[in-house]
């Protein structure tokens, strides 16, 4: 059997995240449907991340084992023929048998998109957080830098997560502006449940004067969820990059 690494992008608006759930449509379920239609076998698919309901992916990696003889260069076209328009495979490669899309991953990068103007953009509906008050991206960037380093981020996780080890290493975190668009980006060796959305809510709380930017290190140290900011809406969040073994997989 071949172990195939699949790279895709998807609009998460219509899905309850990646992971298969009862009584809810997920990306994993739809992707497994496409494999079954193509090969006649419902393969077990391993994803690099669960992703929350409504979260998007510019790059998402998963792997599955198959007896199919379809060449890797043809596999994206074959799978896309059975996938809806909001999910698209754009790369396939054969990987070693012990490769695991989640556990072989060394880091992930997320981007959160904010439409920062009082005037809505119909093309960004459901794809950006609309924030009408003017944001000072330099102030937010300074606040975001406080997350860099190895910390216990249990105060930046929503209840419902199942992990016991809440220590994560953030290697990059910053905020930048491009016209009316403001982008929050963060890369780490792993993320807790809703961690990025709470980080975004925290820097936006700094912009609103409800949290002092200088207090973010103390909030992290306190491990107190009540002291951190609100959980930003899911529709502004995108999984942007997945890194394996120090080599960035094919970027968007």
- Cβ atoms of 112 and 129 within 8 Å: the answer is yes
Q: How far is CA 100 from CA 139, 168, 201, 252, in A?
A: 39, 20, 32, 21
pLDDT for 162 equals 67
DSSP state of 59: E
pTM of the model: 0.93
- What are the counts of helices (DSSP H) followed by strands (DSSP E) for the chain? 5, 11
Handedness of CA 50, 56, 62, 67 (dihedral sign): positive
Residue limits of CATH 3.30.70.660 in the chain: 108-244
CA distance 169 to 159: 21
Each residue's pLDDT, cut to its tens digit, for the chain (252 residues) gives 999 999 999 999 999 999 999 889 999 999 999 999 999 999 999 999 988 899 999 999 999 999 999 999 999 999 999 999 999 999 999 999 999 999 999 999 999 999 999 999 999 999 999 999 999 999 999 999 999 999 999 999 987 666 789 999 999 999 999 999 999 999 999 999 999 999 999 999 999 999 999 999 999 999 999 999 999 999 999 999 999 975 544 443
Residue limits of CATH 3.30.70.580 in the chain: 2-95
pLDDT for 251 equals 43
CATH 3.30.70.660 is the classification of domain 108-244 = yes
- Cβ atoms of 53 and 15 within 8 Å: the answer is yes
Active site residues: 52
- Cβ atoms of 7 and 80 within 8 Å: the answer is no
pLDDT for 115 equals 98
CATH 3.30.70.580 is the classification of domain 2-95 = yes
């Amino acid at each position: 059997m071949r172990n195939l690494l699949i790279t895709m992008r998807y609009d998460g608006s219509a899905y309850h995240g990646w992971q298969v759930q009862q009584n809810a449509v997920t990306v994993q379920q739809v992707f497994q449907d496409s494999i079954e239609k193509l090969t006649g076998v419902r393969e077990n698919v391993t994803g690099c991340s669960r992703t929350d309901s409504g979260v998007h992916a510019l790059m998402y990696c998963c792997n599955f084992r198959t007896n199919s003889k379809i060449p890797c260069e043809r596999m994206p076209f074959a799978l896309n023929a059975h996938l809806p328009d909001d999910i698209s495979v754009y790369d396939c490669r054969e990987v070693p048998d012990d490769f695991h899309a989640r556990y072989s991953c060394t880091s992930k990068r997320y981007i959160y998109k904010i439409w920062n103007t009082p005037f809505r953009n119909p093309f960004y509906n459901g794809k950006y957080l609309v924030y009408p008050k003017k944001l000072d991206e330099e102030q937010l960037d300074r606040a975001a830098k406080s997350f860099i380093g190895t910390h216990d981020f249990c105060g930046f996780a929503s209840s419902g997560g199942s992990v016991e080890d809440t220590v994560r290493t953030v290697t990059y975190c910053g905020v930048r502006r491009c016209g009316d668009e403001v982008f929050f980006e963060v890369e780490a060796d792993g993320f807790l449940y809703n961690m990025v959305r709470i980080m975004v809510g925290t820097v936006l709380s700094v912009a609103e004067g409800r949290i002092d930017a200088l207090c973010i290190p103390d909030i992290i140290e306190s491990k107190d969820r009540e002291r951190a900011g609100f959980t930003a809406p899911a529709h502004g969040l995108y999984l942007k990059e997945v890194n394996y073994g120090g080599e960035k997989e094919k970027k968007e």
